[in-house]
A = this chain, B = another copy of it.
Amino acid sequence: MYKYNSEELYEYTVEKLRGVGVELEEIAEIVQELQKPYIPDLSLDRCLESVKSVISKRESIHAILTGLAIDEMCEKNLLDEPLQSIIYDDEGLYGIDEILPLGIINMYGTIGLTNFGYLDKKKIGVIDELDKKKRTDKVTTFADDLIAAIAAAAAARIAHSNQK
């Protein structure tokens, strides 16, 4: 029915994230920091496993590939004005970069949502690095919010399974 199977889509998505300089281990580190107050001995391995589980969902893959494609189009200067400037400058009121990740976090309940809001303000680890690249040549308008969403969702997933 589909041209690509789930494994191909997953591999492709991990590759695309690597293309913007993000390794899954770096996302796992954010997850660990988010959950540390609740599970002090949480291993990085379990965080990484949760990140992989989030990314393997088709809804996540669609959100990640779409957001990164918009960043890429903008970086190649292929968008029409005024959208080209709005995304390039990551205008304060743009907001679509925070709407699109809802496709990922909504699936993980309200803990995902509040984690996402927190990470959006407190840019931890690789999210902060992506955000700083904006001041150079890279367009990371969607990338940093997508990473925040993956980490928020993976942390929520651990919180849920831990409380059960």
Residues of chain A having any CB pair with chain B under 8 Å: 1-4, 6, 8-9, 12, 58-59, 62-63, 65-66, 69-70, 73, 78-80, 82-83, 85-87, 91-96, 98-100, 102-103, 106-111, 113-118, 120-122, 159-160, 163-164
Contacts and interface: CB of A to CB of B under 8 A. Distances in A.
Given A63-B99, A100-B99, A113-B117, A78 B73 contact: yes
A73 B114 CA distance: 26
Given A93-B163, A117-B120, 8 more contacts: A9-B82, A62-B86, A78-B78, A99-B103, A102-B102, A107-B108, A107-B109, A113-B117
Contacts of A100: 96, 99-100
B3 A92 contact: no
